């Protein structure tokens, strides 16, 4: 028979480990948010009339690909 008193501290250590992981993830997420905010501020403003996904497309017939 296993003594239940010996098993109890393990749960405490597991809980502490989970809390530390949760705290670390929270700090990492806050750091990523801060970096993302800094990148957003540093990025140049985009013209509202121009779609950045298609701004570089050249209209008309396209040159043939070299094979």
**pLDDT for the residue numbered 44:** 75
> In the prediction, which pLDDT does 4 show?
64
Q: What is the mean pLDDT of residues 36-60?
A: 81
Q: Taking 90 as the threshold, does the pLDDT of residue 34 lie above it?
A: yes
* C-alpha to C-alpha distances, 65 to 28, 31, 55, 59, nearest whole angstrom: 45, 45, 21, 16
Across the range 38-55, mean pLDDT stands at: 79
- pTM for the structure as a whole: 0.51
Contact 38/44 with Cβ under 8 angstroms? no
Q: What rounded mean pLDDT belongs to the chain?
A: 84
């Amino acid at each position: 028979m296993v003594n239940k008193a010996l098993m109890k501290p393990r749960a405490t250590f597991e809980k502490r480990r989970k809390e530390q992981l949760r705290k670390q993830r929270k700090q990492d997420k806050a750091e990523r948010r801060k970096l993302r905010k800094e990148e957003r501020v540093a990025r140049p403003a985009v013209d509202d009339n121009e779609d950045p996904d298609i701004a570089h497309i050249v209209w008309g017939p396209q040159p043939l690909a070299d094979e």
